[in-house]
Amino acid sequence: MKTVRTIAELRQQIADWRAAGQSVALVPTMGALHAGHIALVGAALALADRAVVSIFVNPTQFAPNEDLARYPRDEAGDVAKLAGAGAHLVWAPTVSEMYPEGFATRIVVEGAALPLEGAFRPHHFGGVATVVCKLLSAVTPDLALFGEKDFQQLAVIRQMVRDLALPVTIRGIATVREDDGLALSSRNAYLSADERYIAPMLYKVISEVARGRDPAEASEALLAAGFTKVDYVEVRDAETLVPFVRGSGRPGRVLAAVWLGKTRLIDNVATG
Ligand code: PAF
């Protein structure tokens, strides 16, 4: 498994695979890899001949007050995990490779990007869409895989790919959870022992909302359990993310974002 830094090296490798008639899957990541990412690589290997994993902590999706500087980074550890998982290529570009001097383009996303995370982090999905578009344009994969853990991100990427007719298939892969239900996330590393003890309540409570519990009451239960703040617990249409209408026959999704001390956790589950 090779690690390349530049788009030129990446494209050379992809061209060699294409010349051999091989299909390519991309798993975009920001590193600090855990079993959830490795599940994405496993799915990529099952669906394509070659699996490329990008590792890039994208500055444009963090607001100035967010955790860019302290976002966990461990490239050597990540590369070892990816080699063990059977990935074929790691693409770990520098910030100047992705955003060279004079870079002045940003994708504006609306629709599924506006509510929930979009209301609390208005800069976020524009940065995600811009970097994902560039990752897709550099790799030109047949398919790209994203975790359902970031469910709204997945909806926004599907919307962008559809709207811009990007020639790639997007696959969402089920969230990987700890035994106690906590969704795996690179940000779990920030949790203190006490916070880690409380954290699995999030999954328990949103699962109750999926079975019909009132979201406002669920928010109160989360605060009573020790969460510092609840940004939202909402039931939304699973594709458009407009408010869910029970009995509409449409798929629904419960989405939540909460704070435990200085750590913000998000999670989601399908409605029953
Ligand atoms: O989900 C992530 O890790 C990031 O948002 C992504 C999709 C790699 C874009 O930076």
pLDDT at 43 over 90: yes
Instruction: Tell me, yes or no, whether 155 and 28 share the same domain.
Output: yes
Report pTM: 0.97
Give me ligand 1 centre to Cα 31, in Å. 9
Q: How confident is the model at residue 214 (pLDDT cuts 50, 70, 90)?
A: very high
Instruction: Tell me, yes or no, whether 160 and 203 share the same domain.
Output: no
Query: Structurally, how many domains does the chain consist of?
Result: 2
Residue 191 is predicted with a pLDDT of 97
Q: Tell which atom from ligand 1 comes closest to the C-alpha of 157.
A: 7
Residue having the nearest C-alpha atom to atom 1 of ligand 1: 29
Residue 259 is predicted with a pLDDT of 98
Whether residue 112 is contained in a domain is answered as: yes
- 215: domain CATH number is 3.30.1300.10
Q: Tell which atom from ligand 1 comes closest to the C-alpha of 147.
A: 1
Q: Tell which atom from ligand 1 comes closest to the C-alpha of 30.
A: 3
| Residues facing residue 255 across a β-bridge | 234, 268
Q: Average the pLDDT over 18-27 and give the result.
A: 98
Q: How confident is the model at residue 127 (pLDDT cuts 50, 70, 90)?
A: very high
pLDDT digits (tens, 9 = 90+) for 72-124: 999 999 999 999 999 999 999 999 999 999 999 999 999 999 999 999 999 99
pLDDT digits (tens, 9 = 90+) for 223-233: 999 999 999 99
Which are the catalytic amino acids?
37
pLDDT at 160 over 90: yes
Whether residue 241 is contained in a domain is answered as: yes
Residue 29 neighbours by CB under 8 Å, 6+ apart: 37, 40, 53, 54, 55, 56, 78
3-state secondary structure at position 99: coil
Instruction: Tell me, yes or no, whether 62 and 146 share the same domain.
Output: yes
CA–CA separation, 246 and 221 (whole Å): 22
Whether residue 179 is contained in a domain is answered as: no
CA–CA separation, 160 and 166 (whole Å): 8
Residue 108 is predicted with a pLDDT of 98
Whether residue 180 is contained in a domain is answered as: no
End residue of a domain, out of 173, 207, 236: 173
Most informative mutation of 131, 137, 173 for ligand 1 (most atoms within 8 A of CB): 131
CA–CA separation, 229 and 49 (whole Å): 45
Residue 67 is predicted with a pLDDT of 87
Residue having the nearest C-alpha atom to atom 9 of ligand 1: 128
Instruction: Tell me, yes or no, whether 55 and 164 share the same domain.
Output: yes
> Is the CB of residue 52 less than 8 Å from the CB of residue 139?
yes
Of 62-71, 95-104, 233-242, the range with the lowest mean pLDDT is: 62-71
φ, ψ of residue 235 to 5 degrees: the values are -105, 125
Domain hosting 245: range is: 186-270
pLDDT at 272 over 90: no
Instruction: Tell me, yes or no, whether 46 and 152 share the same domain.
Output: yes
Give me ligand 1 centre to Cα 53, in Å. 11
Instruction: Tell me, yes or no, whether 169 and 190 share the same domain.
Output: no
Instruction: Tell me, yes or no, whether 137 and 220 share the same domain.
Output: no
> What is the percentage of the chain residues whose pLDDT exceeds 90?
97
Instruction: Tell me, yes or no, whether 210 and 165 share the same domain.
Output: no
Q: Tell which atom from ligand 1 comes closest to the C-alpha of 61.
A: 10
Q: Which residues line ligand 1 (CB under 6 A)?
A: 28-30, 58, 61, 128, 131-132, 150, 153
Tokens of 9: 């090296």
φ, ψ of residue 245 to 5 degrees: the values are -110, 110
Instruction: Tell me, yes or no, whether 243 and 117 share the same domain.
Output: no
Residue 89 is predicted with a pLDDT of 98
Give me ligand 1 centre to Cα 149, in Å. 11
End residue of a domain, out of 145, 173, 201: 173
Whether residue 181 is contained in a domain is answered as: no
Residue having the nearest C-alpha atom to atom 3 of ligand 1: 29
Residue 41 neighbours by CB under 8 Å, 6+ apart: 27, 51, 53, 82, 85, 86, 87
- 168: domain CATH number is 3.40.50.620
Instruction: Tell me, yes or no, whether 103 and 203 share the same domain.
Output: no
Give me ligand 1 centre to Cα 81, in Å. 18
Whether residue 118 is contained in a domain is answered as: yes
Instruction: Tell me, yes or no, whether 26 and 60 share the same domain.
Output: yes
Residue 120 is predicted with a pLDDT of 97
Give me ligand 1 centre to Cα 29, in Å. 5
Instruction: Tell me, yes or no, whether 207 and 134 share the same domain.
Output: no
